[in-house]
Amino acid sequence: MLSRLALALLLVGLWSMPAHARWRMASSENFVIYADDSSRDLEQFGRLLERYHQAMEKLTGHTTETPSPSNRLTIFVVGGQRDMGRLSGAGNSIAGFYVPRAGGSVAFVQDLRLTSGNPNMSMVVLLHEYAHHFAIAASSFAMPQWASEGSAEFFASSRFATNGEVEIGRPALHRAGDLFYARDVPIRQLLDAELYAANRGNRFDAFYGRSWLLYHYLSLGTERNGQLSAYYAALREGLAALPAAERAFGDLDQLEADLDGYLRGRRMAMLTFAPGTLVAGEVAVRELSDGMDAALPLIIRSRRGVTREMALELLPELRAVAAAHPDDAGVLGALAEAEFDAGNDAEAIAAADRALASDPATVNAYIQKGYALFRMADEAEDADAAYAAAMRPFTALNRIEPDHPLPLIYFYQSFAWRGAEPDQLARHALERASQLAPFDQSLTLMTALSLAQEGKIALASSYALPVATSPHGGRLAEQARQFRAALAGAVEGEAFIWTPPASEADPEPGLPDPAS
């Protein structure tokens, strides 16, 4: 939940972007970046991120499906710590954060600059979160908590030279304080997430640092080659955390002693990709239109996620920008989003229609018009006709961008929300959307519930596992654990319907991990 102070700051509009020359957008295969930096800096940043993506593919042996244009990670460069803290709602000490959403994943960082090739803390956070994003997209295997965080720290400690050289596996210097001064995490608690949760308490500890150290030791240390793969294999076979670790690593007390010795060692190995080894591909940079240049600070606040009250505060400013730029489709699409968020469905549809009249390829206009029509259909007398009309913008979007996940999701919802049984085409659409956006945990759990309704019990349990074991927990993780427990009494081939129990709302999605 946003703090009252942060909420008040957002509501009165005190958060503002720093002065700038011009907003620009960089577009590459996996990323879209908005910043008020030079074209040269923006292009270099885009190439850096694409090389980082390629390095993870090479080192993990996994490749990801090229995302559709709207399903790429969008990164906003928003200014200093104070701006970041107000935007996140988590105070003034936040370096950056990430919000995973189907068709709309966003990350927020402070700046694009490196020091002698080394990322600042804001970029470390981005690299850490993108490592999670990549891992979820690349494999359905639910990594244990320590390995998930340890691998993200391992990759986030990379160095990027101006000549294109990339170093992976460097010491995580930003975790040095954790490792040497924070409360230690014994090896069994590190390996067993439930044991760790039961003993953690409220004190800050070295979990992230020790996770990085163990992952680095097992990946690049020479004494235990092959043990990490054996450990993952044991987990895939169904062994519990500690038995899997004991089978792969042997005596865990000895592992802990060896790990301590590894930390005290004078040198650590790292992996270096020589210049030219990682080819970034094209990064196209362009200046935004006058209207989008004026609207982008408001769009950033909107894309972060807003309550209805926040949207009502944004509306006068966005309406003013739209009035000054009445033919700018991007601005009108943003206005449609703010109108919808404020509860103004008719106004959202009108703004979306104006955007599409100006540019029929305005993706956000189709989405916001569809959202508004779906919300109106919920109270329509003729539900079938209303939901059929609500699907038209999404159907049009699907023709433009066939792999956009939202039209697939809403095709399924057009059955579910009117109380009709989804047909096989709708269920397949939902599964495809989940494949396109595996980082959206609410979508993954929705797909698992649909599979259970078809009687695909084992597959439903497998789908829900990554959500149930999510390192950051929360309401969805708890629901997924309850769902998988309920599936123990289900019969393969027989429909199983499960309704999540009522629970308190989660903290605002996408708030940064306190340890990050």
* pLDDT tens figures, 186-242: 999 999 988 988 887 767 889 999 999 999 999 998 889 999 999 999 998 989 999
Strands in 302-374 per DSSP E? none
Could you tell me what percent of the chain has a pLDDT over 90? 67
Q: For 285-336, how does the pLDDT look when each residue is reduced to its tens digit (9 = 90+)?
A: 999 999 999 999 999 999 988 999 999 999 999 999 999 999 999 999 999 9
User: Does CATH number 3.40.30 belong to domain 1-139+274-287?
Assistant: yes
| pLDDT tens digits along 61-95 | 988 889 999 999 999 998 776 777 777 776 666 77
Distance CA 505, CA 511 (A): 14
pLDDT at 93: 66
Q: Is 3 left (phi over 0), alpha (psi -120 to 50) or beta?
A: beta
pLDDT band at 505 (very low <50, low <70, confident <90, very high): very low
Q: What is the pLDDT of residues 88-142, one digit of tens each?
A: 776 666 778 888 999 999 999 888 777 777 888 888 989 999 999 999 888 878 8
User: Among 126, 150, 381, 402, which Cα is nearest to 259's?
Assistant: 150
| Close Cβ partners of 100 (under 8 Å, ≥ 6 residues apart) | 133, 439, 440, 441, 510
* 430 pLDDT above the threshold of 80: yes
Residue showing tokens 């169904």: 238
pLDDT at position 9 over 70: no
Residue 31, SS3 per DSSP? strand
The token duo for 91 is 């105070």
Q: How far is CA 212 from CA 112, 218, 219, 275, in A?
A: 24, 10, 10, 26
Q: How many CA atoms lie within 13 A of 515 on its CB side?
A: 23
Q: Map tokens 């990050």 to a residue.
A: 516
Which residue from 108, 150, 117 is spatially nearest to 132, judged by alpha carbons? 150
- For the domain 298-424, what is the CATH superfamily, name and number? Tetratricopeptide repeat domain (1.25.40.10)
Residue 39 and residue 266 in contact, taking contact as beta carbons nearer than 8 Å: no
> Which amino acid does the sequence have at 453?
Q
Q: Which residues pair with 76 in a beta bridge?
A: 34, 108
**The predicted structure's pLDDT at residue 91:** 61
Residues 444-498 have pLDDT tens digits of: 999 999 999 999 999 999 999 888 877 666 888 899 999 999 999 999 999 999 9
**Dihedral sign computed on CA atoms, order 485, 490, 491, 497:** negative
Are the beta carbons of 149 and 207 closer than 8 angstroms? yes
In angstroms, the CA 30 to CA 202 distance is 38
Window from 135-149, 238-252, 421-435 with minimum mean pLDDT: 135-149
Q: In which band, very low, low, confident or very high, does the pLDDT at 431 lie, cut at 50, 70 and 90?
A: very high
In the predicted model, what is the mean pLDDT of the chain?
A: 88
Q: Is residue 512 predicted with pLDDT exceeding 60?
A: no
Please state the pTM of the whole predicted model.
0.87
Rounded Cα distance, 190 and 482, in Å: 24
Query: Is the predicted pLDDT of residue 506 greater than 80, yes or no?
Result: no
Structure tokens at 505: 């709302």
Tell me what pLDDT residue 128 has.
Answer: 92
Confidence of residue 15 (pLDDT cuts 50, 70, 90): very low
pLDDT in tens, 40-66: 999 999 999 999 999 999 999 988 889
Q: At what angle do helices 363-377 and 329-341 cross, to 10 degrees?
A: 30
Q: In what order do the strands lie in the sheet with 24-27?
A: 96-99, 106-109, 73-77, 31-35, 24-27, 284-287
Q: How far apart are CA 503 and CA 486, in angstroms?
A: 17
- Tell me if residue 77 falls in helix, strand or coil: strand
CA 91 from chain centre, in angstroms, equals 21
